[in-house]
């Protein structure tokens, strides 16, 4: 359960989470101009701030962390974070701006620089490597140092970087990964694989040079990892295709190996492929591979009853990891926030972020923060913008309704000088790019899940953003987070907390 080691910080937490009630089912977006009115008085606004100022700072916890939970909202930059807050609040009938995401209640925060050693705007492989190894590296490379050349196997030999999972497993802690992406995708793979190329998810992508020099694909590296002394207890996500031969439907492996069969041939190793199996499994012991989709898990709205969500997988993973007397290390990735943005769909990205909010809310009501270091951050940002002058409570996905000269909400959408409407969230680039003359936004079409927000620069896929991302933390040694920090420093706080050096 939540424990911030300080009565005053608990009071602050309760104040911040008044509007953060967990809801069991994600709802549809608002479909009209805001109807909710803010009745907060000037005295109430003032007293809210006064209460905050009167609370003492939380007491620093300098105990050794028994457990570690690192949560990554892939692509959840500051604008995504803000838009998700408003969006999630509006699903609960609020104006939205006053809502508090579950992880925003954590007592420590920082801004995190995200650049790679070779790119100003980073990719997930390089950023995740920095987070879990304590060393910055090149874009596209997984837990190998920047001395290597991307995509060149020979140059990466002897350049592998140890990760926080290596450290945890040396301490005999249970380790687990939960992701809505493929488990061989960059973010999860950085914890168990070492590769100069993130795209080598299965052997069909290995070039001849890599084969000659003995580099293994990422899926094979997972199986080999399990054959050593240090083994994952849980890894849940998608990506079945990279474990199956091309002779199987949708299989990608040209070596014709069935890695799911190899996994199950290992002692006490079990395979899960659907939600019912996950719910029925006895997770008190053993090693569990959950492959719940051929590629990435479907987006929230596109999942059927057979596909578990982020919360389902997190609950199952924790039910396995908590049985380890020495503790555990768990990485949770909301991977499809990133994919929604690449597709130019603010709706998809915000729905995935809302699911992350609900998952963290469950965790905060379940884990003991006196012995668990909990970190919520992003690996990088995206080009999403939140701008214009929409009225308070403007539907996050809708066209802009502005205020009149007296500050009252207009009854019709704001019309630009080009005669058209516009939305407050847009992209710098991507598939939603428009040409001059800019077409107007249809107010009803803008609210549809498949609508692509308008963008400036036409690209097949919207790109990452290069700005800092936010980090929130609680638990042992979380007080070391603050100010603006390099991304690879996050690893060193985790290491310090686990070792209490």
Point out the residues that are catalytic. 124
Contacts of 39 (CB under 8 A, 6+ apart): none
CA dist 210 to 192, 203, 255, Å?
Answer: 19, 10, 14
Strand 108-113 to strand 469-474: parallel, antiparallel, or no bridges (unpaired)? antiparallel
C-alpha 86/C-alpha 102 separation (Å) is: 13
Hey, is 116 helix, strand or coil? coil
Helix, strand, coil percentages (3-state) for the chain, rounded to 5, are 30, 15, 50
- Check: CB of residue 380 under 8 Å from CB of residue 123: yes
Q: Which long-range contacts link 36-45 to residues 24+ away (Cβ below 8 Å)?
A: 36/93, 36/94, 36/95, 36/393, 38/95, 38/98, 38/392, 38/393
How many helices (H) and strands (E) are present in the chain, helices listed first?
15, 15
The per-residue b/e assignment along 215-231, b for 16 or more CB within 10 angstroms, e otherwise, is bbbbbbbbbebbeeeeb
Other Cβ atoms closer than 10 A to 209: 13
Task: Give the whole-angstrom CA distance, residue 498 versus residue 162.
Answer: 15
- Residue 178 to residues 183, 211, 352, Cα–Cα distance (Å): 8, 30, 14
Cβ-based burial of 236 (10 A; exposed 0-12, middle 13-18, buried ≥19): buried
Choose among 225, 86, 247, 85: nearest CA to 160: 225
- Strand arrangement of the beta sheet that strand 384-386 belongs to: 384-386, 425-430, 455-458
d(CA 34, CA 89): 12
Tokens 């609370």 label which residue?
55
| 330 phi/psi in degrees, rounded to 5 | -130, 130
Main-chain phi, psi angles of 430, to 5 degrees: 130, -175
CA dist 194 and 220 (Å) reads 11
State the Cα–Cα distance between residues 382 and 196, nearest whole angstrom. 24
- Sheet with 234-238, strands from edge to edge, namely 269-272, 287-291, 234-238, 174-182, 328-334, 67-73, 372-377, 469-474, 108-113, 484-486
């Amino acid at each position: 359960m939540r424990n911030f080691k300080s009565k005053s910080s608990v009071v602050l937490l309760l104040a911040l989470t008044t509007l953060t009630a967990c809801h069991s089912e994600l709802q549809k977006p608002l479909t009209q101009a805001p109807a909710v009115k803010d009745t907060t008085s000037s005295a109430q606004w003032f007293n809210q701030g006064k209460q905050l100022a009167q609370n003492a700072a939380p007491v620093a916890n300098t105990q050794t962390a028994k457990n570690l939970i690192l949560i990554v909202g892939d692509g959840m930059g500051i604008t995504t974070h803000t838009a998700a807050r408003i969006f999630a609040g509006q699903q609960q009938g609020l104006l939205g701006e006053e809502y508090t995401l579950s992880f925003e209640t954590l007592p420590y925060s920082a801004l995190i620089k995200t650049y790679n050693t070779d790119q100003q705007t980073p990719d997930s492989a390089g950023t995740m490597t920095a987070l879990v190894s304590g060393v910055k590296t090149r874009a596209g490379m997984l837990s190998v140092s920047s001395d290597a050349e991307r995509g060149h196997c020979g140059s990466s030999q002897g350049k592998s970087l140890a990760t926080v999972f290596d450290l945890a497993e040396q301490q005999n802690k249970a380790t687990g990964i939960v992701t809505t992406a493929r488990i061989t995708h960059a973010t999860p793979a950085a914890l168990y694989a070492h590769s100069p190329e993130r795209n080598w998810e299965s052997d069909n992508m290995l070039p001849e040079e890599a084969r000659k020099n003995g580099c293994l694909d990422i899926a094979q590296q997972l199986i080999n990892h399990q054959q050593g002394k240090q083994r994952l207890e849980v890894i849940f996500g998608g990506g079945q295709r990279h474990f199956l031969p091309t002779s199987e439907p949708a299989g990608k492996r040209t070596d014709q190996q069935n890695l799911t069969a190899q996994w199950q041939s290992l002692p006490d190793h079990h395979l899960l492929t659907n939600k019912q199996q996950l719910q029925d499994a006895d997770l008190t012991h053993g090693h569990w591979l959950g492959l719940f989709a051929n590629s990435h898990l479907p987006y929230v709205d596109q999942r059927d009853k057979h596909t578990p969500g982020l919360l389902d997988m997190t609950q199952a993973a924790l039910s396995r990891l908590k049985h380890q007397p020495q503790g555990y290390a768990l990485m949770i990735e909301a991977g499809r926030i990133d994919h929604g943005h690449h597709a130019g769909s603010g709706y998809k990205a915000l729905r995935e972020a809302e699911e992350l909010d609900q998952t963290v809310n469950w965790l905060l009501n379940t884990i003991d923060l006196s012995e668990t270091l909990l970190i919520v951050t992003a690996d990088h940002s995206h080009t999403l913008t939140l701008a214009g002058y929409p009225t308070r409570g403007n539907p996050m996905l809708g066209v802009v309704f502005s205020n009149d000269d007296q500050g009252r909400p207009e009854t019709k959408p704001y019309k630009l000088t080009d005669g058209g409407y516009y939305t407050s969230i847009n992209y710098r680039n991507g598939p939603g790019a428009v040409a001059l003359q800019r077409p107007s936004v249809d107010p009803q079409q803008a609210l549809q899940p498949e609508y692509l927000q308008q963008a400036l620069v036409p690209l097949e896929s919207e790109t990452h953003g290069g700005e800092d991302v936010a980090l929130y933390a609680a638990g042992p040694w979380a007080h070391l987070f603050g100010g603006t920090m390099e991304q690879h420093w996050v690893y060193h706080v985790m290491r310090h907390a686990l070792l209490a050096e």
